[in-house]
Amino acid sequence: MKLQGKVTNWNDDKGFGFVEPNGGGVRAFVHIKAFNSSSRRPVNGEIITYKLVSENNNRYKATNIKFSRDINRSNGRSGAHSTNNRNKGKSSILGPVFTVLFCIGLFISVFNGKVPVNVGFAYLVISLITILAYAKDKYSAQNNRWRTPEATLHFFSLIGGWPGALIAQKILRHKTSKNEFISTYRITVFLNVGVLLVVYTEEGQHLLHNIILPLLRG
């Protein structure tokens, strides 16, 4: 028997929550793997249809889950949804393409002597550290352990680890649904790109070779 209800207490990092049936009834556990459609993830308040399955200890879980608005969507809305998916697909491609272009620009800058080799190496090392930090936070979220502060993840991005952060977001599907987090992450990206552009100016070269590098060398 199919039921309809509202998603509550949804934890996107862990991929689970609960559903309260419309009109009252048994509260059931909801897991992301039970959704028939993998095109998007649920949010709190989302209306879904599901099949109620009884488990041990008088607990229940929802299976064969579908989004109600997907079922009730008209043909016209289906076309609009397809357009939105295409736009999201384009947006998801822009990030990796931009990252590749930045890395190419950084490599050229190192090759031309505009940027020290150590800086290019630092980007690589910090990106790897950032990927590990995201992986640890994802693992901690799934196992109810101590989380890595978001400020720490942003700090790694700011000091050069933002390419690694993007890789971790795409592969681990971590932090991608939090708009505020993504907005702050993008700021760290823009700051890194801005610094690279400044280095190409005469003033930037003077600052790098006459002030910053001597300070780093002690």
Does residue 80 form part of some domain? no
Which helix (H) or strand (E) segment holds residue 75: the answer is helix 75-111
The tokens 């608005």 sit on which residue?
A: 69
CA–CA distance, 4 with 67 (Å, rounded to integer): 10
Classify each residue of 134-150 as buried b or exposed e, where b means 16 or more C-beta atoms within 10 Å of its C-beta: beebbeebeeeeeebee
Q: How, if at all, do strands 16-21 and 2-11 pair?
A: antiparallel
Give CA separation, 80 vs 43, 53, 86, in Å: 20, 34, 10
Instruction: Spell out the per-residue pLDDT of the chain, length 218, in tens.
Output: 789 999 999 998 888 999 999 888 889 999 988 887 655 788 888 899 999 998 877 889 999 998 887 766 644 454 555 555 555 555 567 888 888 998 898 889 888 888 888 888 999 999 999 999 999 999 988 887 888 999 999 999 999 999 999 999 999 988 887 889 999 999 999 999 998 888 778 887 777 777 766 776 66
Which helix (H) or strand (E) segment holds residue 53: the answer is strand 47-54
Does residue 79 form part of some domain? no
Q: Which residues pair with 16 in a beta bridge?
A: 11, 31
Split into its structural domains, the chain has a count of: 2
184 with 114, same domain: the answer is yes
Domain of residue 7, residue span: 2-72
101 with 64, same domain: the answer is no
Does residue 77 form part of some domain? no
- Torsion (CA) 164, 168, 170, 173 in degrees, nearest 10: -160
137 with 176, same domain: the answer is yes
92 with 34, same domain: the answer is no
Q: Which residues pair with 18 in a beta bridge?
A: 8, 29
Q: What is the pTM of this model?
A: 0.57
CA–CA distance, 153 with 181 (Å, rounded to integer): 10
68 with 103, same domain: the answer is no
CA–CA distance, 97 with 82 (Å, rounded to integer): 23
169 with 91, same domain: the answer is yes
54 with 119, same domain: the answer is no
Residue 25 is part of a domain; what is its CATH number?
A: 2.40.50.140
114 with 41, same domain: the answer is no
Which helix (H) or strand (E) segment holds residue 6: the answer is strand 2-11
Which among 180, 166, 95, 103 is positioned nearest to 131, based on CA atoms?
Answer: 166
Does residue 124 form part of some domain? yes
